Amino acid sequence: MQVIQGKSIFGGIAIGPIIFFTKEQNQVKRSKIEDTAGEIARYEAAIVTAQEQLGKLYEKALKEVGESGAQIFEVHQMMLEDDDYNDSVKNIIETQMVNAEYAVATTGDNFAEIFAAMEDEYFQARAVDMKDISERVINVLMGVGEVSGWEEPSIIVAEDLAPSETVQFDKSKLLGFVTRLGSSNSHTAILARTMNIPALIQIDIKEEWNGKMGIIDGFSGEFYIDPEPEVLEKYQEKKAEQEEHRRLLAEQKGKPTVTKSGKEIKLFANIGSVSDLPAAMGNDAGGIGLFRSEFLYLESGDYPTEDDQFKAYKMVAETMAGKKVIIRTLDIGADKQVDYFNLDKEENPAMGLRAIRICLTRPEIFKTQLRAILRASAFGNIAVMYPMIISVDEVRKIKEIMAEVKAELDAAGIQYGEVEQGIMIETPASVIISDLLAQEVDFFSIGTNDLTQYTLAIDRQNAKLDEFYNPHHEAVLRMIEMVVDNAHKAGIWAGICGELGADTGLTDRFMAMGVDELSVSPTFIYPVRQIIREYEGPTK
């Protein structure tokens, strides 16, 4: 028996035979060609086929993991449409008079190297995407088929897995996966979490494991190869307990989220787009605590119109049938870039022009979104919250703009509902002045991801800093408590919409702090609800 320590990207237990997955290695040879125009036409046809394949992958991912997980394949489609990428391939074909496979491989390597050399880990991760799309085009040119399946449910062991490979696998036969490469912020890692697949990364894999029995412990990060009978029995019992636990959690559907002392907690869902609604409703969300409106901008080739936004917001409001829907206004910048915004390249985008700063410097974009939100509020219980607030002046300016938009709608005779306005607390600045900010708004929603990043001065997307990144840091927890206290003194409610909201190791402490609302990924609603219902301690 071997036991190897890796890094977990999703918890859970997986037990089954190991399949050592190797990609078909296509040897791309450099061939001299005479008909460069014909070779370019061949390349362009391959691009069309690759786009069609990505479209099918998007539809498959949409059904299995929802909009937020499927977006990567739209990103890949856009990367294949990139002028710089296509111009490079065609230029190599024409000037060097070489075959399309060689031109694509060279361009893919060059672009991947550029991304890998960037300091920002988000862009470093795009190097993998660049290789993925280039390999797809090369496979089309060489007539190589897509990933094939296997007979029985298995644990996949691989050097690395591209998002496209992860989605192509038959979900019913993919028990879990283990890779040597990868990071917890990669698109493959995100897909694993969305698909609830136990997965480990950063393990020194060996082909000799193929066919042996394996165990993934996604809680400890351990990978067992050829386990001893008593270890196998222990993990089979642990897996059975886990499945029974999930069954018991599912029995909570429809039950109130109330502590034993009688305090009702709002337990809402975070969603990335309209297509994530089924997951929120299927997991019995009490409302939508974070509707990331930026998906409308990320998916569009140009600024989404007021009507486009109105239709999306209206659909969510109507579907939730009177339950609260909190729409976060546009939050792009940093790791979420949109080409048509033409934002300047920044040395430190996490602290640059992003979120509400873009809205306040481009009020015409902001007002379009606010009009759409207000119009949709006539069809349901909508609230709005503003990200990355650091001052009272910002809030007052926002309220002025909102008043202007309401006046415009009144003048046009367009109805709208009563819309609560809240802000996200994501910076130490907003925490320190939360007593002043509470006088200006209806609620607080604490974005713990950015709050932790800015408090600890650690880039949360930099894998090299994982050992220093501690979301349970006492400074962060004290800040959360300070915000809740100041909210209650002003008579408003305070919630958490960042990843800490789903951290069941902290749920009791949040109850003791007096947190009023937790908004989590849909799959975490039942586990969090169970702990809230069992909580017996005092609340502020």
Domain boundary residue, one of 142, 177, 210: 142
Q: Are residues 138 and 264 in the same domain?
A: no
Taking Cα atoms as reference points, which of 156, 224, 212, 232 lies closest to residue 2? 224
Q: Is 473 a catalytic residue?
A: no
- Using one digit for the tens of pLDDT, what is the confidence trace for 160-214? 887 777 777 777 788 988 988 877 656 677 677 767 788 898 899 898 898 899 9
pLDDT exceeds 60 at position 147: no
Quick one: the chain helix, strand, coil %, rounded to 5? 50, 15, 35
Catalytic residue among 76, 187, 359, 472: 187
Residue 314 is predicted with a pLDDT of: 92
385: tokens are: 């919250």
Q: Would 116 be classed as within a structural domain?
A: yes
- Using one digit for the tens of pLDDT, what is the confidence trace for 378-414? 999 999 999 999 999 999 999 999 999 999 999 999 9
pLDDT exceeds 70 at position 126: yes
pLDDT tier for residue 294 given thresholds of 50, 70 and 90: confident
Q: Would 240 be classed as within a structural domain?
A: no
Taking Cα atoms as reference points, which of 158, 189, 152 lies closest to residue 172? 152
Residue 274 is predicted with a pLDDT of: 80
425 and 431 in contact (C-beta within 8 Å)? yes
| 100-119 mean pLDDT | 87
Residue 477 is predicted with a pLDDT of: 96
pLDDT exceeds 60 at position 148: no
- Using one digit for the tens of pLDDT, what is the confidence trace for 71-93? 778 888 888 998 889 999 999 99
Residue 283 is predicted with a pLDDT of: 83
Residue 162 is predicted with a pLDDT of: 74
- Residue 125: which CATH number? 1.10.274.10
246 contacts: CB under 8 Å, gap ≥ 6: none
Q: Would 188 be classed as within a structural domain?
A: no
- Sequence letter at residue 286: G
What is the C-alpha separation between 103 and 266, in angstroms, rounded?
Answer: 55
Contacts 24+ apart (CB under 8 A), 50-54: 50/80, 50/133, 50/136, 50/137, 50/140, 51/77, 51/80, 53/136, 53/140, 53/146, 54/80, 54/136, 54/164
What is the C-alpha separation between 483 and 50, in angstroms, rounded?
Answer: 49
Number of domains in the chain: 2
pLDDT tier for residue 425 given thresholds of 50, 70 and 90: very high
- Using one digit for the tens of pLDDT, what is the confidence trace for 40-81? 999 999 999 999 988 888 887 777 766 666 777 888 888 899
Residue 448 is predicted with a pLDDT of: 93
What is the C-alpha separation between 323 and 327, in angstroms, rounded?
Answer: 13
Q: Are residues 291 and 420 in the same domain?
A: yes
Q: Which residue has the tokens 């990428």?
A: 85
pLDDT exceeds 90 at position 366: yes
Angle at CA of residue 333, ends 327 and 337, nearest 5°: 105
43 and 141 in contact (C-beta within 8 Å)? yes
Q: Is 488 a catalytic residue?
A: no
Q: Would 190 be classed as within a structural domain?
A: no
| 240-255 mean pLDDT | 77
Report the largest interatomic distance among the alpha carbons of the chain, rounded to a whole angstrom: 81
Backbone phi and psi for residue 112, each to the nearest 5 degrees, phi listed first: -60, -40
Q: Which residue has the tokens 């991912």?
A: 61
Domain boundary residue, one of 142, 176, 209: 142
What is the C-alpha separation between 285 and 277, in angstroms, rounded?
Answer: 10
Q: Are residues 138 and 263 in the same domain?
A: no
Q: Which of 28-32, 61-65, 308-312, 418-422 has the lowest mean pLDDT?
A: 61-65
In angstroms and rounded to an integer, the radius of gyration of the C-alpha atoms of the chain is 25
Residue 88 is predicted with a pLDDT of: 93
272 contacts: CB under 8 Å, gap ≥ 6: 66, 67, 68, 71, 292, 295
- Sequence letter at residue 256: P
Q: Are residues 296 and 445 in the same domain?
A: yes
What's the distance, CA 492 to chain centroid?
29
Query: Average pLDDT of the chain?
Result: 87
Q: Would 244 be classed as within a structural domain?
A: no
Q: Would 108 be classed as within a structural domain?
A: yes
469 and 448 in contact (C-beta within 8 Å)? no
Q: How many residues does the chain have?
A: 540
- Using one digit for the tens of pLDDT, what is the confidence trace for 266-286? 999 999 888 778 778 878 899
Describe the strand order of the beta sheet including 2-5 as a list of residue ranges: 2-5, 222-225, 213-217, 13-21, 154-158, 174-179, 199-201, 7-10
Q: Would 75 be classed as within a structural domain?
A: yes
Residue 359 is predicted with a pLDDT of: 87
Q: Are residues 123 and 264 in the same domain?
A: no
Q: Which of 122-126, 253-257, 448-452, 454-458 has the lowest mean pLDDT?
A: 122-126
Q: Are residues 358 and 492 in the same domain?
A: yes
Structural domain harbouring 477: 259-534
Domain boundary residue, one of 142, 160, 188: 142
Q: Would 218 be classed as within a structural domain?
A: no
Taking Cα atoms as reference points, which of 15, 69, 24, 54 lies closest to residue 178? 15
- Residue 326: which CATH number? 3.20.20.60
Q: Are residues 522 and 396 in the same domain?
A: yes
